[in-house]
Homo-oligomer: A and B are copies of this chain.
Amino acid sequence: MSLSSGPKIWSTLNEICALLRINPGDTLSDDIKFQHKRVRAGQSVYRQLQRFDSLFIVSSGFLKTIVIDEGGGDRVTGFPMRGDLIGLDAIHAKRHPSEAVALTDCDVVIVEYSRLMQFCTGYPGIMAGLCRIMSAELAREQATAGMIATMSADTLMARFLAQLSDRYAELGYSPREFSLRMSRAEMGSYLGLTLESASRALQAIGRAGLLSVNQREVVLHDVDALKTMIRLPAAQSMHRRAA
Which residues of A line the B interface, CB within 8 A?
67, 69-71, 73, 75, 77, 88-93, 97-98, 117, 120-121, 124, 127-128, 130-139, 141-146, 148-150, 189, 191-193, 231, 233
- Give the docked Cα–Cα distance between A73 and B233 (Å): 9
Set of chain B residues within 8 Å of A136, measured between Cβ atoms = 92-93
Q: How far is the CB of A77 from chain B (nearest CB, A)?
A: 5
- Give the docked Cα–Cα distance between A98 and B140 (Å): 11
For A133, give the chain B residue with the smallest CB separation: B92
Set of chain B residues within 8 Å of A141, measured between Cβ atoms = 138, 141-142, 145
- Give the docked Cα–Cα distance between A91 and B133 (Å): 9
- Give the docked Cα–Cα distance between A77 and B143 (Å): 9
A142 contacts B70, CB within 8 Å?
no
Q: 24 A-B pairs, CB-CB below 8 angstroms?
A: A71-B231, A75-B150, A77-B142, A89-B135, A90-B139, A91-B131, A91-B134, A92-B132, A93-B139, A98-B139, A98-B142, A117-B128, A120-B127, A127-B127, A134-B134, A134-B135, A134-B138, A137-B138, A138-B141, A146-B189, A148-B148, A148-B192, A149-B191, A150-B192
**Contact among B88, B127, B146 with A192 in the assembled complex (CB-CB below 8 Å):** B146
Set of chain B residues within 8 Å of A98, measured between Cβ atoms = 139, 142
Q: How far is the CB of A184 from chain B (nearest CB, A)?
A: 16
**Contact among B97, B131, B139, B145 with A145 in the assembled complex (CB-CB below 8 Å):** B145
With A70-B231, A148-B192, A192-B149 known as contacts, the answer to whether A97 contacts B139 (CB < 8 A) is yes
Set of chain B residues within 8 Å of A131, measured between Cβ atoms = 91, 117, 130, 134
Set of chain B residues within 8 Å of A91, measured between Cβ atoms = 131-132, 134-135
Q: How far is the CB of A200 from chain B (nearest CB, A)?
A: 16
Q: How far is the CB of A88 from chain B (nearest CB, A)?
A: 6
- Give the docked Cα–Cα distance between A144 and B138 (Å): 13
